[in-house]
Chains A and B, each alone.
Chain A
Amino acid sequence: MVDIVPLSSYPSYIDLLPSIQTCNITNLPENYFLKYYLYHALTWPQLSFVAVVRPKNGYSKHTAAGGAATLSEQYPKVVGYVLAKMEEEPTDGVAHGHITSLSVMRTHRRLGIAERLMRMSQRAMAESHRAHYVSLHVRVSNTAALRLYRDTLGFKVETVESKYYADGEDAYAMRMDLTDMWMDWAEIERKDRLRAEKEGKDADEGEEVGELGTEKEKEKMVKVRVGRGLGVGDLVEKNESQTQA
């Protein structure tokens, strides 16, 4: 059985980074240094998710916070992942998410794992970062992935990027609108103000709990625009010390 869990929010599965890297290099030709995964995990901890095989004897506790009891529990087998980020310098000036890499082991396909990983990431992009849309690239020959993105999830092809991949293959640049999953920040702030005023008047009064996790998950689709290449390397800003005179 496969469980979908967050990579580096709560509970944290950051111990799985080397296994995620292995899953990637086993499945795909586009590979990255571990530091690039770290960069994703530490810059947008809400956006990446992992698919792990439930250990034979289950879990002894629900959180990995204090370190799990057994090795097989702490390092379950990784069979899929989605590595996602927010575009740092969007060329269109619109905040949006980008799927850096997604893969599921061949032995675990047709279980809906990729779809689940994508939905989790998309939702987090909308909720945590107010992403207007999410973009991704897919090989034009990858019909299975295309079916997932277009037919199941509702992505639209924006453009074809010629020779996007190192081996010369073209990529579809796809995107999907996420604004319908946004939280109503203005409303939250309005209520907070009201409550603060009220508290100012009479010091106590029970607090109202936000309706978490109840937003409807609807999918819509729109437009397109392109992300960046699959560059590896010095992605983390270099912060060389400066000597002052």
Chain B
Amino acid sequence: MTLRVLTVDDSRTILAMLHHTLSNAGFEVLQAEDGKQGLDVLKAQAVDVVITDINMPVMDGIEFIKNVRATGQHNSLPILILTTETSQDKRDQGKAAGGTGWIVKPFDPEKLISVIHRVVH
């Protein structure tokens, strides 16, 4: 079964890199440029895991995660936060909002895949 990943980031560069890495690893990749678009995607499609940036316009990652959990329909949807090494507080905020785990940017492709497998069946 192909796993479907929703990637949410306002940086096209990061989106492109995630897309490359994930599709090479056999994932189906959906993209959104901010939290609001991310919510729209989730409304329309079922996904297996979400990877989201924190700093985004319109709706940031923290709000996005809170909103996803608040729907009540995605309680078991793993959400991974993209963070940098130095932003421990963001990681904690993301977790408090309902984030499942995190990926440190810049990410190593192999590690990215293994982190995803850590949170999805």
Chains A and B bind each other? no
